[in-house]
Structure 1
Amino acid sequence: MTISLRVTIKPSIWLRYLLGMMVILANTGWYIFLSNRELSFAYLLSALIGFAVMSSLSLIMVISKIPIVDLNISKTGEIKLGMMGLGDTSARVKLHRSCIIWQHVMALSFVFDSGRIYRILVLPDSLDPLAFHRLRVALIWIIRHQTKRSADNNSRVGNF
């Protein structure tokens, strides 16, 4: 590969809004469903309290702190992953075979040397459009060139 790349992947605002809307719509639907049933007041109240607790927990997950990921791809295709925000860490990683790279969405899985897998969902608002395109091209290049080495990889993890 002749192009080295360094990108900073921020948490997606679109995803947070969609998760928040999903929680609100799901709870509204359950409330309408339960209110049309002829349940006693105690059952209806306990269901509403349960929905309120679950909504609160879901919304806390939506607003929780997701680390900013610094991804550095060298000219040879080696990947270095750095996480900022939850204890700044940086390590060399390999792509896992479960990565999904589409035109507008990337679900990336990275394997650390310890065997731990770290997953990142990259949406178009996580990066600027040019960086998103460059990252997509670089990862496709790594996937295509690393599959030649898959015959030697017996552990079935890491760059295919």
Structure 2
Amino acid sequence: MKALMTLALVSTMAAGLAGCVVAPNSGSIYTSRQAQNEQTVRIATVESVREVRIDKGNSGTGALTGAALGGLAGSTVGGGNGSVAAGILGAVAGGLAGDNVEANMKRHAGVEITVRLDSGELRAITQDADELFRPGERVRLLSDGRKTRVTH
């Protein structure tokens, strides 16, 4: 029984870790699929920059992993019905904690950059806050038809 519980725990943890992998929203990081693809380049002037939070959303794997760990830890307390009750409480507490951990891992600092194209049009692009932009500076907008990033 313990071997089966350990196998279930390891499987849940592996699924939880896989769910934590998120694609970047950086102006400086390209995925392998984005590399060597042609992009349209436009030049613009930064109008304003606003700090935002980027939230990748919860997949539920944090809650599942936490529940599995909490349930396993709780079930080792006491014996009989007490062990079952402790396992249930551990699973609930672990699920809540795991959901909170996942939410915090998937939220990070971003910037909303409003630019004025040379044509006079305004555009706003949100991306990771890993590059500093200032109003009045000239920047490049790189677009592949789906995503646009702002770079220097």
Larger helix fraction of residues: 1
Larger strand fraction of residues: 2
Q: Relative contact order, CA 8 A, sep 6+: which one is greater?
A: 2
**Larger Cα-atom Rg:** 2
